[in-house]
């Protein structure tokens, strides 16, 4: 397996707390923050100290352990402990609504809580072990996604990406940027064009940072420039992550992704979504059922704390959009590259 090692470890459980990179400080500072309470973890997810679908999944799993540790100190009867912990887990899963990995990882912890026959101390150890397992699996899955994805990257390709689906959106390595890392390991002439990704600028603040740290060539463009460069023949492929994929292949990702997909289709450029199976929500038929997070209007009216518009102007700020499956060339997963008809290929992938 061709593999490009990234040193970035975005989130990690350490003994009794969760350590994560504080992504609100980029690009000026690369700092870690230790999260020691369940409520602080909820806030860290909500305020995007940790962000990116797989990373917030792991954060949610860690948050359940933090709540378990807090409840243990209250010396509750066993049944009350279980009941309250399950309620806290549901609260943790509600920190952000779109990325299904959060609900998925919290559900993995809830299964352990519901099925436990052990005493509380042992149950907490089981939750910690499961958290660690999910962390390590995430990196392994991303490397597999990277390897499959690299097989469809043309020689010397320029890959356009939107938002950040990198090591910093996962435990490490990344999904869309995992594809870039694996492709770059085989062919160092591969390069990336990163959309700025307004309003929160994950492309500018995070993608350019992590690729530069790893020595992978990256060019920053603003969101509206993508079709200009596509027309000029300067983009060979698009690869993005996803926050939730419906059973029919419709894929929610950072707002602006849909526009990129339409532009790619018009210019005949392959458009790939890279995501683990944990991002696929087979309980929903199509993207119409995906809840789209509406975020603070300040993100649109201000850049770096400074207003960029008339005071009091009306604003809308959906955090994500849904790219219809017709625009997606393939979904790169740890089980291979899924192709249309997605209803079929997704179901097949879950059986592998």
Q: Could you give the residue numbers annotated as active site?
A: 243
Asked if 52 is part of the footprint of ligand MRU (rule: CB under 6 A), the reply reads yes
Q: How far is the CB of 208 from ligand MRU (least distance, A)?
A: 14
Asked if 168 is part of the footprint of ligand MRU (rule: CB under 6 A), the reply reads no
Query: Among residues 71, 145, 238, 242, which is the contact residue for ligand MRU, using CB under 6 A?
Result: 242
Asked if 248 is part of the footprint of ligand MRU (rule: CB under 6 A), the reply reads no
- For residues 169-188, which are near ligand MRU according to CB under 6 A? 169-170, 175
Asked if 254 is part of the footprint of ligand MRU (rule: CB under 6 A), the reply reads yes
Closer residue to ligand MRU in complex, CB, 120/302: 302
Query: Among residues 10, 18, 201, 202, which is the contact residue for ligand MRU, using CB under 6 A?
Result: 202
Q: What angle do CA 95, 97, 103 make, to 5 degrees?
A: 75
- For residues 259-318, which are near ligand MRU according to CB under 6 A? none
CB–CB of 271/238 below 8 Å? yes
- For residues 97-136, which are near ligand MRU according to CB under 6 A? 99
The one segment of 46-54, 258-266, 299-307, 339-347 that binds ligand MRU by CB under 6 A: 46-54
Q: Are strands 11-14 and 17-21 parallel, antiparallel or unpaired?
A: antiparallel
Q: How far is the CB of 243 from ligand MRU (least distance, A)?
A: 5
State the number of CA atoms in the 13 A half-sphere of 259 facing the CB.
16
Torsion of CA 237, 258, 302, 294, to 10 degrees: -140
Asked if 62 is part of the footprint of ligand MRU (rule: CB under 6 A), the reply reads no
Cα separation, 287 vs 38, in Å, equals: 31
Asked if 51 is part of the footprint of ligand MRU (rule: CB under 6 A), the reply reads yes
Asked if 243 is part of the footprint of ligand MRU (rule: CB under 6 A), the reply reads yes
Asked if 6 is part of the footprint of ligand MRU (rule: CB under 6 A), the reply reads no
Positions in the binding site for ligand MRU (CB under 6 A): 51-54, 99, 163, 165, 169-170, 175, 202, 241-243, 253-254, 319
């Amino acid at each position: 397996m061709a593999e490009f090692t990234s040193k970035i470890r975005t989130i990690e459980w350490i003994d009794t707390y969760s350590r994560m990179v504080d992504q609100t400080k980029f690009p000026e500072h690369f700092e870690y923050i230790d999260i020691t309470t369940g409520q602080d973890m909820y806030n860290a997810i909500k305020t995007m100290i940790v962000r990116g679908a797989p990373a917030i999944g792991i954060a949610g799993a860690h948050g359940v352990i933090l709540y378990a540790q807090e409840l243990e100190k209250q010396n509750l009867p066993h049944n009350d402990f279980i009941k309250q912990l399950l309620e806290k887990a549901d609260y943790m899963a509600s920190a952000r609504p779109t990325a299904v990995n959060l609900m998925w990882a919290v559900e993995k912890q809830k299964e352990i809580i519901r099925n436990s026959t052990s005493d509380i101390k042992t149950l907490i150890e089981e939750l910690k072990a499961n958290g660690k397992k999910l962390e390590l699996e995430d990196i392994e899955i991303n490397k597999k996604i990277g390897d499959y994805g690299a097989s469809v990257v043309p020689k010397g390709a320029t890959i356009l990406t939107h938002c950040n689906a990198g090591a910093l959106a996962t435990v490490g390595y990344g999904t869309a940027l995992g594809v870039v890392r694996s492709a770059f390991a085989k062919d160092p002439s591969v390069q990336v064009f990163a959309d700025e990704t307004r309003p929160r600028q994950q492309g500018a603040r995070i993608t350019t940072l992590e690729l530069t740290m790893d020595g992978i060539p990256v060019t920053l463009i603003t969101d509206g420039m993508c079709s200009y460069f596509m027309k000029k023949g300067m983009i060979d492929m698009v690869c993005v992550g996803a926050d939730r994929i419906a059973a029919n292949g419709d894929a929610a990702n950072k707002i602006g992704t849909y526009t990129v997909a339409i532009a790619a289709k018009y210019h005949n450029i392959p458009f790939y979504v890279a995501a683990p199976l944990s991002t696929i929500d087979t309980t929903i038929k199509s993207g119409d059922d995906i809840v789209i997070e509406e975020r603070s209007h300040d993100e649109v009216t201000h850049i770096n704390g400074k207003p960029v518009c008339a005071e009091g102007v009306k604003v809308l700020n959906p955090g994500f959009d849904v790219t219809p499956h017709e625009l997606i060339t393939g979904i790169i997963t740890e089980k291979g590259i899924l192709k249309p008809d997605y209803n079929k290929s997704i179901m097949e992938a879950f059986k592998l």
